[in-house]
Amino acid sequence: MKIKNICCIGAGYVGGPTMAVIAQKCPEINVTVVDINAERIAAWNDEDVENIPIYEPGLSDIVKEARGRNLFFSTDVDGAIDKAEMIFISVNTPTKTYGIGKGMAADLKFIELCARQIARVSKNDKIVVEKSTLPVRTAEALKNILDNTGNGVNYQILSNPEFLAEGTAVQDLQNPDRILIGGDIDTEEGLDAMQALVDVYAHWVPNENILTTNVWSSELSKLTANAFLAQRISSINAMSELCEKTGADVNEVAKAVGMDSRIGPKFLQSSVGFGGSCFQKDILNLVYISKSFGLNEVADYWEQVIIMNDHQKRRFASNMVKTLYNTVSGKKIAILGWAFKKDTNDTRESAAIYVSDYLLNEQAEIVIYDPKVTSEQIFSDLEYLGTHSSEEIRERVKVVNTAHDACKDAHAVTILTEWDEFKDLDWQAVYDDMLKPAFLFDGRRLLDRSTKEKIGFEFYAIGN
Ligand SMILES: NC(=O)C1=CN([C@@H]2O[C@H](COP(=O)(O)OP(=O)(O)OC[C@H]3O[C@@H](n4cnc5c(N)ncnc54)[C@H](O)[C@@H]3O)[C@@H](O)[C@H]2O)C=CC1
Ligand SMILES: O=C(O)[C@H]1O[C@H](OP(=O)(O)OP(=O)(O)OC[C@H]2O[C@@H](n3ccc(=O)[nH]c3=O)[C@H](O)[C@@H]2O)[C@H](O)[C@@H](O)[C@@H]1O
């Protein structure tokens, strides 16, 4: 079966970039990305392609190339479903904030709404692709809804998890380590549907990098991959604390262990704690699933990754307070970086939010600079926590337009996102404009200790 029309429900960090690359690589396929968020769709359609809602290096060029040719962004969800032979579901699956599984399970209400909408609208057979990260066995629930509420058409459900990382999404999509496609391997219809999706990716991904499995393995592999990645960070962060007590340097330790080819060098960068929309939510989901099968040891094992991450954020903030003579009340602290990693404007679960909240609890005055995050986003992230009133936050937090402005007259500066521009700041000028002693806390191991100490900074870096 040759796919001519693809619909993707969800124009977010995954749906947008993923579909842009499919449209770029498959010019004969029409790709329509739909969303209920009209503002987001309007931004994707903005005449000035630099105003698309997601900042990813290289993405605006691809959108410029394909938009209006075979890439479309629309709020007409029904129309796009009706026209497509293949529908990707790429909506958000956040941690539940209510009811059974609150704080742990994935909230599948958006997924279910999509399924019901597909069932209502579809008048011919469809291949439905799970692109969102979902608990293992969600395909079963989807099939149930589609088969029982639909118009008698046939559905094939595929699992095709996305492994892109933000900040490198375009590169990851254009040269993926692997494409994973899970489906019903026991029926001819299932195999045909899987082949149709293989054919889409085969436009640019070598065949040996396209992996097909049963649908449950595919669903579970996504949660497993994120759990393993996050576990490496919590492992190295656990070592960072031990390094600080013993005189070892976590970067040297990471390099030494990473040169063992069985361990490998990637994902061993110690930090103030991992953020992002997925690691925490996916691990909590894994913990919840394990518990629901009565696998308490499995659940506890993975939960420790989150416990360690929370500890790392807290201990970084509390170390700042301790170093600043046990009080930051009324002191000005400059925060450089708000995004959860460099090269993205995404702030979800960013360590900066939690460190700032801790400092606000200690009555600090905070000045924030991030090159890609808006002040509205920063205020909304802090307000979302609910620990401080909107008035208090607006009184005690300022957002400025340059790193240097943030640091002026500050008692301490802290780097919470590893933006390249912070490496090249005129640190002498920053020092000159700060109150003395001038404290510098590097939560990302971005800066060189000896040059900063030579300038006169009191320098603290994670794991060193
Ligand atoms: N952000 C990332 O880097 C990655 C995310 N994922 C997974 O992909 C999924 C999506 O994540 P993001 O793109 O980051 O989320 P997002 O929040 O950026 O985008 C989701 C979009 O879906 C829309 N939506 C929700 N319900 C809808 C409905 N019924 N009809 C139409 N639109 C609807 C929302 O308005 C939103 O714009 C999640 O399951 C996530 O775990 C997987 C790999 C990477
Ligand atoms: O499912 C998802 O959402 C995605 O989650 C992560 O991607 P992402 O969260 O975008 O970014 P990462 O590069 O993994 O970084 C996550 C967090 O870990 C931190 N990190 C990363 C690597 C490292 O060595 N140390 C470290 O502290 C980053 O600064 C960031 O805060 C995975 O890397 C992707 O493969 C996956 O598709």
Catalogue all structural domains in the chain, each as residue range(s) with its CATH number.
5-205 (3.40.50.720), 307-461 (3.40.50.720)
397-399: strand order across its sheet? 397-399, 365-369, 332-336, 412-415, 439-442, 458-461
Q: Helices 279-292 and 296-323, interaxial angle, to 10°? A: 150
- Mind listing the pLDDT tens digit for each residue in 207-219? 999 999 999 999 9
Whether ligand 1 lies within 6 angstroms of the CB of 278 is answered as yes
Q: Work out the pLDDT band at 151, boundaries 50, 70, 90.
A: confident
Q: Work out the pLDDT band at 75, boundaries 50, 70, 90.
A: very high
Annotation marks residue 114 as catalytic: no
- Residue 93 CA to ligand 1 center (angstroms) comes to 7
Spatial separation of the C-alpha atoms in residues 336 and 324, rounded to whole Å? 18
- Residue 165 CA to ligand 2 center (angstroms) comes to 6
How many other CB atoms sit within 10 Å of the CB of residue 454? 11
248 burial level (CB within 10 Å; 0-12, 13-18, 19+): middle
Q: Helices 138-149 and 215-246, interaxial angle, to 10°? A: 140
The position carrying tokens 């390094």 is 243
Q: Of all residues in the chain, what percent carry a pLDDT higher than 90? A: 99
Whether ligand 2 lies within 6 angstroms of the CB of 280 is answered as no
* pLDDT at residue number 212: 98
Q: Side chain identity at 190, as an amino acid letter?
A: G
Whether ligand 2 lies within 6 angstroms of the CB of 340 is answered as yes
Residues 6+ apart with CB under 8 A from 151: 119, 120, 122, 123
Contact 17, 172 (CB under 8 A): no
- Mind listing the pLDDT tens digit for each residue in 336-346? 999 999 999 99
Whether ligand 1 lies within 6 angstroms of the CB of 7 is answered as no
- Mind listing the pLDDT tens digit for each residue in 425-451? 999 999 999 999 999 999 999 999 999
Which of these, 310, 238, 134, 216, lies nearest to 462 by C-alpha position? 238
Give the nearest ligand 1 atom to 277 CA. 1
* Cα four-point dihedral sign 226, 199, 36, 109: negative
Whether ligand 2 lies within 6 angstroms of the CB of 164 is answered as yes
Pocket test for ligand 1, best of 73, 222, 277 (most atoms within 8 A of CB): 277
Mean pLDDT (the chain, rounded): 97
* pLDDT at residue number 336: 98
Tokens of 390: 């909107």
Q: Residue 83 above 90 pLDDT?
A: yes
Give the nearest ligand 2 atom to 167 CA. 10
The ipTM value here is 0.98
Q: Residue 1 above 90 pLDDT?
A: no
* pLDDT at residue number 312: 98
* Cα four-point dihedral sign 341, 40, 15, 147: positive
- Mind listing the pLDDT tens digit for each residue in 296-318? 999 999 999 999 999 999 999 99
Q: Residue 89 above 90 pLDDT?
A: yes
Q: Of all residues in the chain, what percent carry a pLDDT higher than 70? A: 100
- Mind listing the pLDDT tens digit for each residue in 176-187? 999 999 999 999
Q: Whose CA is nearest to atom 18 of ligand 1?
A: 12
Per residue, the 3-state secondary structure of the chain, as one string, reads: CCCCEEEEECCCCCHHHHHHHHHHHCCCCEEEEECCCHHHHHHHCCCCHHHCCCCCCCHHHHHHHHECCCEEEECCHHHHHHHCCEEEECCCCCECCCCCCCCCCECCHHHHHHHHHHHHHCCCCEEEEECCCCCCCHHHHHHHHHHHHCCCCCEEEEECCCCCCCCCHHHHHHCCCCEEEEECCCCHHHHHHHHHHHHHHCCCCCHHHEEEEEHHHHHHHHHHHHHHHHHHHHHHHHHHHHHHHHCCCHHHHHHHHHCCCCCCCCCCCCCCCCCCCCHHHHHHHHHHHHHHCCCHHHHHHHHHHHHHHHHHHHHHHHHHHHHCCCCCCCCEEEEECCCCCCCCCCCCCCHHHHHHHHHHHCCCEEEEECCCCCHHHHHHHHHHHCCCCHHHHHHHEEECCCHHHHHCCCCEEEECCCCHHHHCCCHHHHHHHCCCCCEEEECCCCCCHHHHHHHCCEEEECCC
Contact 312, 273 (CB under 8 A): yes
Q: Quick one: which ligand is closest to 53's CA?
A: 1
Q: Work out the pLDDT band at 150, boundaries 50, 70, 90.
A: confident
The predicted model gives 160-175 an average pLDDT of 97
Whether ligand 2 lies within 6 angstroms of the CB of 268 is answered as yes
Spatial separation of the C-alpha atoms in residues 169 and 184, rounded to whole Å? 29
Spatial separation of the C-alpha atoms in residues 31 and 72, rounded to whole Å? 6
Q: Quick one: which ligand is closest to 267's CA?
A: 2
Between vectors from CA 13 to CA 194 and to CA 205, what angle results, nearest 5°? 40
* pLDDT at residue number 240: 98
Q: On the CB side of 279, how many CA atoms lie within 13 Å of its CA?
A: 26
The position carrying tokens 């416990």 is 307
Spatial separation of the C-alpha atoms in residues 202 and 196, rounded to whole Å? 10
The predicted model gives 72-92 an average pLDDT of 98
* pLDDT at residue number 149: 87
Pocket test for ligand 2, best of 224, 340, 355 (most atoms within 8 A of CB): 340
